[in-house]
Chain A
Amino acid sequence: DGGITQSPKYLFRKEGQNVTLSCEQNLNHDAMYWYRQDPGQGLRLIYYSQIVNDFQKGDIAEGYSVSREKKESFPLTVTSAQKNPTAFYLCASSIINSHNQPQHFGDGTRLSIL
């Protein structure tokens, strides 16, 4: 059954700690995306990647880092430089050369500060 798997579902970060959120897809999509969602708000793009070993900053990349070593995987690291990391993080993937194809989303990770 194809889809996007995000883990963990809940994550707690201590002061000064880096944490990594996992995102895996088996849809054979080229593009992957990370979004941040604050309560009652829309989605803001953190990073995206169209191809393995390449990625671009989105609108709010500061304090975050990503890697794309495999097509299926696009982990997001929330670094200690991100002073307000508490939010809901959503990973998505899509086909890129087809205008009518939607992004498919994982179930999200809720990150909180301890």
Chain B
Amino acid sequence: AQKITQTQPGMFVQEKEAVTLDCTYDTSDPSYGLFWYKQPSSGEMIFLIYQGSYDQQNATEGRYSLNFQKARKSANLVISASQLGDSAMYFCAMREPSNTGKLIFGQGTTLQVKP
């Protein structure tokens, strides 16, 4: 069965510094997609970045980048130059190989950015 594990319940980072949020996954399917979402205290889920299993390069999107290590089955999110508005819960998710579009979510990591 597929599984997503986020081992850091909470993280702190100083404003303007970089931070890495960990995500490991388990799947036997060679084709999969990994997503990161941000959930501010208001509750909405904001899509940040996507990494496909066959992508040759690590995904980047502005200040967000993925450290994708396929052999280790990890897809860690790196946020550079942290801002106060980055304080939120972050979820890693994996798309099921079936064509349902279903996502499996990790437990999330709460990030607090200190001024």
Contact = CB atoms under 8 A, between A and B. Distances in A.
Interface of A: 31, 33, 40-45, 48, 50, 56, 58, 88, 90, 92, 94-97, 99-108, 110
Contacts of B108: 40-42
24 contacts: A33-B101, A33-B102, A41-B107, A42-B91, A42-B107, A42-B108, A43-B45, A43-B91, A44-B105, A50-B100, A50-B101, A58-B102, A88-B43, A94-B101, A96-B99, A96-B101, A97-B99, A102-B37, A103-B47, A103-B103, A107-B43, A107-B44, A108-B43, A108-B44
A32 to B, nearest CB: 9
A36 to B, nearest CB: 11
Main secondary structure of the interface of B (DSSP, over half): loop
B contact residues, range: 20 to 34
B99 A107 contact: no
Interface of B: 9, 31-33, 35, 37, 42-45, 47, 50, 52, 91, 95, 99-103, 105-108, 110
B47 A102 contact: yes
